[in-house]
Amino acid sequence: MTAAVEQRLHARFRLSHPGFTLQVDLNLAGAGVTALFGASGSGKTSCLRVIAGLSRSDPDCNAYIAVNGKVWQDDSAGLFVPVHQRAIGYVFQDANLFTHLNVAQNLAFGRQRVAAAQQRIALEQVVALLGIGHLMQRRPGTLSGGERQRVAIARALATSPRLLLLDEPLAALDAQRKAEILPYLEKLHSELDLPVLYVSHATDEVARLADQMVLLDAGRVSAAGATHELMTRLDLPLAHGDGAGALIHATISGHEALYHLTLADFPGGRLRVASQPRALGQRLRLRVLARDVSLTLAPQAGTSILNILPARVVAFADDSPGQVMVALDAGGTALLARITKKSVDALSLVPGSAVYAQVKGVAIVG
């Protein structure tokens, strides 16, 4: 019997530039979406380039890169697979489409890189997933920014990659175009069995798409793990500021059609959120921002707030002058609440305090 291939992504290397050194040692799940997250200059793109083989790591660092059992670099064995032999799809901030070719011809160019026997992803499936069938005869100059990026992703997938690398694919798009393309990225996540490394510095993108995260800071890995866990760790910058919030995995349990609301159950209780066009039993990723959570010592009546969840105070951290970030445990699900220091004192909150977290239904992002 053939042994099962380990579904892991290993990347150990060092890359030195004048005044900056990127050094990582990663052992990640070889499936789903992993976000490389950090400020500009933290080393996110450089990390992708080394994994892709576009940049060579330092010769004395004993580099090792393997994706789901396929070794692409092993310095100890003198092995370095060149970029054109690595089964990767790479999408940059700029779509980089061939302007003299129409969409169908751009896809055909990507397809021809792969022998027929190695084509694991059907081109028709890619076109349908990204909703570009009606664009096939158009040239890139006639497409919107979001359409160009969808075509660029389709071209990368047409090569039947073993690993998809997305380098801030939404960074150049305005809010409307970004909202247009995110649902397509979610479909890729749910319908293709393909590991993705997704570079971003936008918390909302990561919360919506990523299963796990790697936080990079000045060329070093400051934390790595499940997205929902890292987003609520008070020792990390993710859990502070206006964008701080919790990621909740919930299941649709009903719809209140009259009020355009969806009921979503999770271990901490039930949430009412803006209507979601999904069937009963389907999973939802919900984001609850800390600034939208208030605390009370007793459940309130006669209030417009639809979501009132029993929780326990876990820890505190200063967030800004006069404000505190409160880590909460709601039935095993982590939440954050950003409140004033005066409120902490008025409620006599300490770790272990029993509270109720209140969240407006319109504030929850699905």
Q: In this predicted structure, what is the pLDDT of residue 2? A: 44
Percent of the chain with pLDDT strictly greater than 90: 76
Instruction: Check which CATH number belongs to the domain holding 100 and give it.
Output: 3.40.50.300
Same domain, 67 and 91: yes
In a domain, 3, yes or no: no
**pLDDT of the residue at 177:** 86
Q: 267 and 139 in one domain?
A: no
Would 302 be classed as within a structural domain? yes
Write out pLDDT tens, residues 243-282. Answer: 999 999 999 999 999 999 999 999 999 999 999 888 999 9
Choice among 38-42, 221-225, 288-292 with the minimum mean pLDDT: 38-42
- Closest C-alpha among 48, 6, 47 to residue 30: 6
Residue 1 has pLDDT above 60, yes or no: no
Q: Same domain, yes or no, for 47 and 95?
A: yes
Predicted confidence (pLDDT) per residue in 4-14, tens digit: 566 899 999 99
The span from the CA of 66 to the CA of 25, in Å, is: 12
Q: Please check whether residues 219 and 316 belong to one and the same domain.
A: no
Residues 6+ apart with CB under 8 A from 271: 248, 250, 263, 264, 265, 286, 307, 309, 359, 361, 364
Q: Are residues 166 and 308 both part of a single domain?
A: no
Q: Are residues 264 and 195 in the same domain?
A: no
In a domain, 240, yes or no: no
State percent of the chain over pLDDT 70: 98
- Please indicate, yes or no, whether residues 173 and 274 belong to a single structural domain of this protein: no
Question: What was the pLDDT predicted at 160?
Answer: 87
Q: Measured between alpha carbons, how far is 260 from 276 in angstroms, rounded to an integer? A: 8
| Residue 238 included in any domain | no
Q: Give me the half-sphere count of Cα atoms (radius 13 Å) on the Cβ side of residue 116.
A: 0
- Of 147-161, 246-260, 338-352, the one with minimum mean pLDDT is 147-161
Domain boundary among 171, 199, 230: 230
Please compute the mean of the pLDDT values over residues 332-357 and round it to a whole number. Answer: 97
Mean pLDDT (whole number) for 58-82: 95
User: How many structural domains comprise the chain?
Assistant: 2
If asked whether residues 88 and 14 sit together in one domain, one would say: yes
Mean pLDDT, to the nearest integer, of 103-119? 81
Q: Note the pLDDT of residue 94.
A: 85
Q: Which of 230, 255, 275 is the last residue of a domain?
A: 230
Round to whole Å and give the CA distance between 217 and 223.
9
CATH, residue 288 = 2.40.50.100
SS3 (DSSP) at 12 = strand
Residue 262, in any domain of the structure: yes
Q: What is the C-alpha separation between 89 and 93, in angstroms, rounded?
A: 14
- Asked if the structure places residue 349 within a domain, the reply is yes
Residues 46 and 166 in one domain: yes
Are 226 and 252 found together in one domain?
no
In 87-136, DSSP assigns E strands to 88-91
198 and 136 in a single domain? The answer is: yes
Look at residue 236 and tell me if it is in a domain: no
**177-222 confidence digits (pLDDT tens):** 888 888 888 888 888 888 999 999 889 899 999 999 999 999 999 9
What per-residue confidence (pLDDT) applies to 258? 96
pTM for the predicted model, two decimal places: 0.91
Same domain, 76 and 215: yes
* C-alpha gyration radius of the chain: 23
- Which tens digits make up the pLDDT trace of 118-152? 777 788 888 998 999 999 999 999 999 999 999 99
The pair of structure tokens assigned to 261 is: 């609301």
Domain boundary among 177, 204, 230: 230
224 occurs within a structural domain: yes
> Which residue range(s) make up the domain with 252?
245-363
For residue 117, the model assigns a pLDDT of 64
